[in-house]
A = this chain, B = another copy of it.
Amino acid sequence: MPPISVRPAFASSVRALTHNATPRVSQLTPRVSQAISRRFKSGPYGYTQAKALVYSQNGEPSDVLSLHTHSISPSLPSNALLLRSLAAPINPADINQIQGVYPSRPPFTALLGTAVPSAIAGNEACFEVMRVGSGVKDFAPGDWAIARAPCLGTWRTHVEAQEDSLLRVEKEGLTPVQVGTVGVNPTTAYRMLKDFEHVGEGEWFIQNGANSGVGRAAIQLGRLWGMKSINIIRERGTEEETEAMRNELRGLGATHVVTEGELMARGFSEQVKEWTVGGRQKVKLGLNCVGGKPTSAMVKCLSDGGHLVTYGGMAKAPLQVPTAALIFKDVKFSGFWVSRWSEKNLDEKRRTVGEILELTRAGMFADVPVQKVQWDWDTKEETLKEAVTGTLQGFRKGKGVFVFGDT
């Protein structure tokens, strides 16, 4: 075996070799060697040098996050794997978790050798397996994996994890960013469209936050399943930008794209009636990540017996539910939390992720726009923290994703 610290960069750079081959450093091209030297530090006695964004107390990410350097022992417990991160997104929930306002929280431990017990930030990533313990059955070096459940801590270069905390992913034809972002947003969209009301072919759903990761996934999956969609976006800075966004979402398969202003204007429900052939086509499902008054307006567009599923609350205002909508229109209100769903439905999560990635491979499911943030060995703590703060302020060009080394 070559030194552990060489392996990962190799695996993603020299795809022609199988992951079971054991190349020597001398086999690597100069570009790869350089990439390795940018990213990895090989410690003494085969230890892997690693870095992680950690916090020892809850607060604003800019105040509490710090970049911690540590070593990972070469001796693995039998059911454990050593993984390196290829891509790890910055989701809003990750930030809420750091702030301490999110119900699922990673443990604060001294396992990474921090001065005080700390938690590792991040919940989603695409990993590559570097080494496996003697009792590991389903993974081999070179395989790709995602976290089964939240709180694994993914904003770090390397993870030593138990086999049962991971799901293996077929990597052929996929990029680390595609795999690293499939488990939260597209999975949320998939389950919300499937698990609450049966929206048949030619029937409708309505959603807000339509340009978000979940929204784009819902547009595409809904279109593949024969659903029509009414998609609400906030007004952009200029009319041209709003029009560009409309076109972008129509390109993904949105039937109609309207602004929040248009939704709230008088007569919108008549517009919906017209689109749905006088109400004969039902609007069975609403997907809500906003809350407050704009969501009440959206509820009015649902057909009798419709179902509003809430998965976010960007407006930070509670939902106003009129009694009459509950009793006489029989509208139902539920929430969806992909973390809870994932923990309870492991096999179904495996199947869902597999199906979405199959569509991605087939070119039928477009990537969400991302803003890559390079994380190399020498990358400064401030750069990484700024990426987190940037997500907090809403990256203009897409979701922030840490990409590691040369991936």
A313 on interface, CB distance cutoff 8 Å: yes
Query: CB-defined interface of A116-150 with B at 8 Å, one 1/0 digit per residue?
Result: 00000000000000000000000000000000000
Chain A positions 167-217 with a Cβ under 8 Å from a chain B Cβ: none
A321 on interface, CB distance cutoff 8 Å: yes
Q: Check A337–B332 contact: CB distance below 8 A.
A: no
A253 on interface, CB distance cutoff 8 Å: no
User: Of B326, B330, B332, B337, which one neighbours A327 at CB under 8 angstroms?
Assistant: B337
Kindly report how many copies of this chain are found in the complex they form together. Answer: 2
Which of chain B's residues has its CB closest to A341's CB? B330
Q: Check B320–A320 contact: CB distance below 8 A.
A: yes
Which of chain B's residues has its CB closest to A291's CB? B323
A333 on interface, CB distance cutoff 8 Å: yes
Q: Check A337–B328 contact: CB distance below 8 A.
A: yes
Q: Taking the nearest CB of chain B, how far is it from the CB of A68, in angstroms?
A: 29
A251 on interface, CB distance cutoff 8 Å: no
B-side contacts of A334, CB under 8 Å? 326, 330, 332-333
Q: Check A321–B318 contact: CB distance below 8 A.
A: yes
C-alpha gap A336/B328 in the complex (Å): 8
A267 on interface, CB distance cutoff 8 Å: no
Query: CB-defined interface of A307-329 with B at 8 Å, one 1/0 digit per residue?
Result: 00011110000111111111111
9 A-B Cβ contacts within 8 A?
A: A291-B323, A310-B323, A310-B327, A318-B320, A319-B320, A319-B323, A325-B335, A326-B333, A330-B335
Closest 7 CB pairs of A and B: A326-B335, A313-B323, A333-B333, A327-B335, A319-B321, A310-B326, A103-B328
